[in-house]
Structure formats: structure tokens, C-alpha cells
Amino acid sequence: MKKLFFVLIAGVVYLTACNNPTAKVENSNAVVNLDSTEAINAIIKADNAWDSVSALNSADGWLSFYTDDAIMMPPGEKICTDKASRAVSIKNMFAIPGANMRFQATQVEVAKSADLGYSSGVYQFHYKDAAGKAAFETGKFCETWKKQADGSWKCIVDIWNADPAK
């Protein structure tokens, strides 16, 4: 009788664990909560749209992905804590001859609340140096995203930096 009882308890525990709607699954190298999948997909979509705008060298398009109070930490510069300083930094980046910035998120995770998340990944920056010679920089980034009242996602903290020179 005890053996049957333990078999039944084990079966109930097994079935309950396997049917948990908030069970974690592997997706895009990140452990995600099934309840957060929609938020993760929204961040991926926003990040891809941001990369597309970047490919067009659109400073205004790039800047539209930040909240008004976002913090931006570009390489080799002071922290940008307001719209004006972010605009100067990004416009200067795209003013570099031959400038072309592309980036790809390799990991995206979202808080259990599904209103805050981050993406991290790699970037490639093509430009021409002072002598007019084609130059290339690779690096990594981390962006913190926050869901807005209208349901869109905007970046609230953005940092990127170059890999060591080869």
C-alpha cells in the first residue's frame, strides 16, 4: 500500500511540474519565462528596428529609441544624461566619414513583471580614418529596455564599448 501511495505522489509531482505554465525554456541563449515571451519578442523587434535605422545613418531615428531621461554611455565620451548630449554624440558619430554602425542582440532577458528587460550583443562600426583609409571596429553593448505606457519599448540605459584593437 505504501508503495502505491508513493507512486501516486511521484506521478502527481511529475505531472504538476511538467504542466507549469511559467516553466522556463531555452530560447536564443537566454532562459526565459513563458509569460515573458511576448515582451522578449517586442524587445528583439525594437532592437532590430533600431539597427535598421542605424544602417541608414539616421541620427534622429537612432535617438527616437531612447526615453527622454535615458542614460547613454558611448565609448570614449562622458555619460549623456539628457536629450541634447545624446543628440550631439550620435550626430557626431554619424558625421564621421564612411560611418556605418550595425549591431545584433545575442541575448535578451525580461523581468518577471515583463515591463523591464535588457539586450546585449555585438556591434560593427565601419568608418574612414583621418587618412581616408577604411577602418573597422567591433565591440559589445548592453541596453536596458522599459515598456512604455503606450505598450512600446524604449531604451533607458545604453552602453557600448570597443573590443581591443587587433
Number of other CB atoms surrounding residue 20 within 10 Å? 9
The predicted-structure confidence for 87-97, as pLDDT tens digits, reads as follows: 999 999 999 99
pLDDT value at position 34?
54
Cα first-last separation, the chain: 70
Q: Give the pLDDT mean for 103-109.
A: 96
Q: What would the pLDDT profile of 123-165 be if each residue is shown by its tens digit?
A: 999 999 999 999 999 999 999 999 999 999 999 999 999 999 8
Every domain of the chain and the residues it spans? 35-162
Q: Which of 32-46, 81-95, 120-134 has the lowest mean pLDDT?
A: 32-46
Residues forming a β-bridge with 114 = none
Contact 71, 89 (CB under 8 A): no
The topology under which CATH files domain 35-162 is: Nuclear Transport Factor 2; Chain: A, (3.10.450)
Cell digits of residue 42:
517586442
